[in-house]
Amino acid sequence: MEIIIYKCEFCGKEFPSRNSHNSHKGKCKNNPNSTWRPHNISMESRKKISDKLRGRPLSESTKQKISLSLKGKPNHPQSNETRKKISETCKNNKLSGGYRYGSGRGKKGTYKGYYCDSSWELAYVIFNLDHNIKFERNEKFFIYEFNGKSHKYKPDFIEDGIYVEIKGYFSEQVRAKEKFFPYQLRYIDKESIKPYLEYVVYTYGKDFVRLYE
């Protein structure tokens, strides 16, 4: 049986089927008639994208709905012995508590000098770098109170003087952080992260986490 290989006339990439070849051909970066050329976006268009992605604070009605939906949902129970061990560890280790790089469950790594704790953070970093949006990793901790106790909070990034937190969920504790935070804070949730992910997946593929150094 003869195997037919379809080759892109613009970049030379090979495909096993006509459909995959045609799909790639229309979006190939080397195709002068490509339907979308992300790296040729004008500065004006970049600004529009940046402005569109800037989150807006949640309305009071939305906050109330979130609060009501979270009431009555118990946390994972901990035994008195486990709580005691955690308490002793915190007392003995002055550096314990607060956020530490690598403590999350997302796919972690470093991309062009920026440490990312999840694929969402990686998408945010890639998008900003590709569109010349100025940002930096936040290294400062802030103190907030929740359930009568003080906790440490460290937002993810700073963009144009605004602190940015990439968060896929909201809870009463997250709202407490927002309440005590002394500066402007923007959340990027599962809805507002979509443009970042769509751009990165379109440009680098679904396995863009391979870009970690």
State the pLDDT at residue 133.
95
Cα–chain center distance at 14: 33
Can you give the pLDDT at residue 31? 79
Q: What is the pLDDT of residue 99?
A: 42
The gap from C-alpha 120 to its chain's centroid, in whole angstroms, comes to 3
The mean of the pLDDT values for the chain is: 75
Integer angstrom CA distances of residue 72 from 31, 147, 171, 172? 56, 16, 12, 12
User: pLDDT tens, 1-55?
Assistant: 445 667 888 888 776 667 666 777 777 777 777 654 444 455 555 555 555 555 5
| Domain residue limits, the chain | 1-33, 42-61+101-213
The conformational region for residue 12 under phi > 0 = left, psi -120 to 50 = alpha, else beta, is: left
Q: What is the value of pTM for the model shown?
A: 0.53
Lowest mean pLDDT among 80-89, 147-156, 163-172: 80-89
pLDDT per residue as tens digits for the range 183-197:
999 999 989 999 999
Domain 1-33 in CATH 1.10.260? The answer is: no
> Do 154 and 164 meet the contact criterion of CB atoms below 8 Å apart?
no
